[in-house]
């Protein structure tokens, strides 16, 4: 469901990585590498928010380069900071995501809202939320619609023990039918998700 081939990225004279390739079906995959290795850059490229210098990404069989709309329609992206429009509320965010995926904020999503303890925060603006609350709003959006790929940058960051447990359950459930590709330094969380752990050494060459 997630495939990329020959991905390369550099900033000025610094090569971040080059020739990266990977192909995975449904399941959890955790990218674990040293700080500054380019994990966020790679995830941004996979999500279409950062342009690659070379190579191609396929999401659910759709090329992100030649069929961007179709590719991103099957993607949920959870960036590290999870800051959308600062004056947008959590409820508005979920409703917007649901509308884009031609669905509604259904009982499944509302149950996740309850489990994450988000009811008191849905009508707050993103600029009023804590880092962890923003993260939980974005994570709730992963269950909206029939997506194929979830890409998450340090999804466990800012979450307390209870929310971490909810996230483990969520990722294990999503991984039954989707690719969940995330970065994390937290080996205990990765193991709880029953995720396959990879590094840049498994993907190709890093600068």
pLDDT digits over 73-124, tens only?
A: 999 999 998 988 899 999 999 999 999 999 999 999 999 999 999 999 999 9
Residues 31-70: pLDDT tens digits? 998 877 899 999 999 999 999 999 999 999 999 999 999 9
Domains of the chain and any CATH numbers: 2-206 (3.40.50.300)
Give the pLDDT score at 205.
Answer: 53
122-177 confidence digits (pLDDT tens) = 999 999 999 999 999 999 999 999 899 999 999 999 999 999 999 999 999 999 99
3-state SS of the chain? CEEEEEEEEEECCEEEEEEEEEEECCEEEEECCCCCCCHHHHHHHHHCCCCCCEEEEEECCEECCCCHHHHHHCEEEECCCCCCCCCCEHHHHHHHHHHHCCCCCCHHHHHHHHHCCCHHHCCCEHHHCCHHHHHHHHHHHHHCCCCCEEEEECCCCCCCHHHHHHHHHHHHHHCCCCEEEEECCCHHHHHHCCCEEECHHHCCEEC
pLDDT at 206 over 60: no
pLDDT per position as a tens digit, 14-27: 889 999 999 999 99
Decide: pTM greater than 0.85: yes
Residue-level pLDDT at 98: 95
What does the pLDDT read at residue 115?
98
């Amino acid at each position: 469901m997630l495939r990329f081939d020959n991905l390369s990225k550099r900033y000025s004279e610094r090569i971040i990585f080059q020739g990266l390739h990977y192909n995975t079906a449904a399941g959890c995959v955790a990218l674990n590498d040293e700080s500054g290795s380019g994990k966020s850059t790679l995830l941004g490229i996979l999500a279409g928010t950062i342009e690659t210098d070379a190579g191609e990404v396929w999401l659910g069989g759709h090329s992100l380069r030649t069929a961007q709309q179709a590719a991103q329609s099957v993607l949920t992206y959870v960036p590290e900071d999870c800051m959308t429009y600062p004056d947008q509320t959590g409820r508005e965010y979920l409703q917007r995501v649901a509308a884009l995926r031609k669905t509604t904020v259904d009982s499944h999503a509302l149950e996740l809202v309850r489990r994450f303890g988000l009811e008191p925060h849905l009508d707050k603006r993103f600029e009023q939320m804590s880092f962890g609350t923003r993260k939980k709003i974005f994570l709730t959006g992963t269950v909206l619609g029939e997506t194929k790929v979830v890409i998450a940058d340090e999804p466990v960051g800012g979450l307390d023990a209870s929310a971490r447990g909810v996230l483990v359950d969520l990722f294990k459930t999503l991984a039954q039918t989707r690719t969940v590709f995330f970065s994390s330094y937290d080996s205990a969380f990765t193991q709880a998700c029953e995720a396959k752990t990879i590094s840049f050494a498994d993907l190709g060459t890093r600068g």
